[in-house]
Amino acid sequence: MGIHKLLIANRGEIAVRVIRAALDLGIATVQVHSDADADMLAVRIADEAVNIGPAQAAKSYLNTEAILKAAKDTGADAIHPGYGFLSENGAFAQAVEDAGMIFVGPSGETIKLMGDKAAARAQAAKAGVPTVPGSDGVITDMEEAAGLAVQIGFPVMIKASAGGGGRGIRIAEDAESFRKLAPQASSEAKAAFGDGGIYIEKVIERARHIEVQILGDGTDAIHCWERECSLQRRRQKVWEEAPSTALDEETRQTICASAADLARSVGYRGAGTVEYLYDDETGKFYFIEMNTRIQVEHPVTEMITGLDLVAEMIRIAGGEPLRHKQGDIGRTGHSIEVRLNAEDPSNGFMPFPGTVSALEVPTGPGVRFDHMLYYGYTVPPFYDSLLGKLIVHGETREAACARLARALAELRIGGLATTAPLFQALLDADDVKQNRVHTKWLEPWLETHGDTIARKMQTEGDTAA
């Protein structure tokens, strides 16, 4: 059961990425788009394009009916959801299958199971994966939960079971604040996600974010090693790399094997990521959640393993079993990805949509630029600010950093402010050079180094003038 025509239910750089993978596999492509995206790059390179509605995502990219109609009208037999939008919506995955088409990703049931954070935690524990000390599933009795919070030690994180993207989280510093915040978090979760379920987890100070890429075919699962994504701003990753230099080989083997075990335990199908917090001081790691989709940072794994993860997920969706055994998945060198957003780092990362008035793309050995840009393209204000990702590969981390500096110096995107100067400044930071970072490192650093970035932007502007 191969796929003949794939509809891409997304936009931006990931849509471009998926179309390229499909075309490389000899699969025809249909790109859906909103009124605001009629001239986006993905529309230009796809075989066909269908307008599915107004600029507002709720009326286009999140409109299941419009997407299914576009698929039927064009004779598509599969739908790739990319990341964001409907990618982790179990009901959408089910609706695609009910309409007689293939959803490129896990089953609706798996998405629902892993999307419920408390259930995913319980599943991880069942598969033998360590979880952050906290409640067993959703809290029902607030007094009992307060007792448990005291037992595991403050600060404690109160999280919405149905939450995501860093939303619906409260931190309680003591029992008194816990009693106040837990009911608040529950009613907020109810309002935002239609589900008031909350659970609690111990806050791990100075943790690193380590995540493992997995591939499963519904029967077996393998891992494709780990990525480190500790540099984050407002819980959003800005810089990702593979492998993590924070792990020793034994820990790497254990953490990666645990991710494959978890994927196998739920009969996982497709590409997915198991996320962990890693405590440098104790050497312990803890499961936090699973993302049941392709992720923004998948290219760093592709660079070190030589795999095409998007092509693999399309093949699996088409009915092929895993083509690689665990022992076949090697890794070479070091890769770093930085996210280029249309934001002005010298003005509080203010969004900066506009028209691309110049474009010089870095090339050369070990450099890859996954993006949605072309000369004259106007970036619309209606969606997220990700323009593209600059990915480099080198023999060592130092070589990759040098290559990133070189590639950033070659890159020119005229007409927009981007986050490129942030990465130039980060490359000069000793903590980044030595990889002495954690998930709460970047924000305080930005508070004290904002001026450096502004100066870099000034110099850049002077050079351009």
Partner 1 sequence: MAHEIKSPIPGTFYRKPSPDEPPYKEVGDSVAKGDTIGLVEVMKTFHEVKADGEGTVASYEVEDTDPVTAGQVLVKLD
- Tell me the catalytic residues: 293
Least distance from C-beta 54 to partner 1, angstroms? 8
Q: How many angstroms separate the Cα of 217 from the Cα of each of 7, 82, 309, 312?
A: 21, 18, 13, 10
CA angle 282, 286, 289 (to 5 degrees): 155
342 near partner 1, rule: CB under 8 A: yes
Residues 51-90 within binding reach of partner 1 (CB under 8 A): 55-56
Least distance from C-beta 209 to partner 1, angstroms? 21
The closest alpha carbon to 225, from 273, 157, 168, belongs to 273
One residue of 346, 382, 402, 412 binding partner 1 per CB under 8 A: 382
Give the span between the Cα atoms of 216 and 121, in whole angstroms: 19
The helix/strand count (H/E) of the chain reads as 15, 20
Binding mask 344-363 for partner 1 (x = CB under 8 A): -------x-x----------
Least distance from C-beta 384 to partner 1, angstroms? 5
Sole window of 73-81, 175-183, 298-306, 375-383 interacting with partner 1 (rule: CB under 8 A): 375-383
**159 has which bridge partners?**
169, 199
Q: Is the dihedral of CA 276, 278, 279, 285 positive or negative?
A: positive
* One-letter amino acid of 244: S
Q: Which is nearer to partner 1, 333 or 351 (CB)?
A: 351
Q: Which is nearer to partner 1, 55 or 257 (CB)?
A: 55
List, as one string, the DSSP characters of 311-332.
Answer: HHHHHHHTTPPPS--GGG----
Helix (H) or strand (E) holding 239: strand 236-242
Least distance from C-beta 59 to partner 1, angstroms? 9
Q: Which is nearer to partner 1, 55 or 99 (CB)?
A: 55
2 near partner 1, rule: CB under 8 A: no
CA angle 195, 201, 203 (to 5 degrees): 130
Q: Which residue has the tokens 């993302």?
A: 291
Sole window of 85-93, 122-130, 378-386, 395-403 interacting with partner 1 (rule: CB under 8 A): 378-386
One residue of 201, 217, 312, 343 binding partner 1 per CB under 8 A: 343
Q: Which is nearer to partner 1, 240 or 343 (CB)?
A: 343
Q: For partner 1, how many residues bind (rule: CB under 8 A)?
A: 12
Residues 264-323 within binding reach of partner 1 (CB under 8 A): none
Give the span between the Cα atoms of 218 and 215, in whole angstroms: 9
One residue of 383, 423, 441, 445 binding partner 1 per CB under 8 A: 383
Residues near partner 1 (CB under 8 A) are: 36, 55-56, 342-343, 351, 353, 381-385
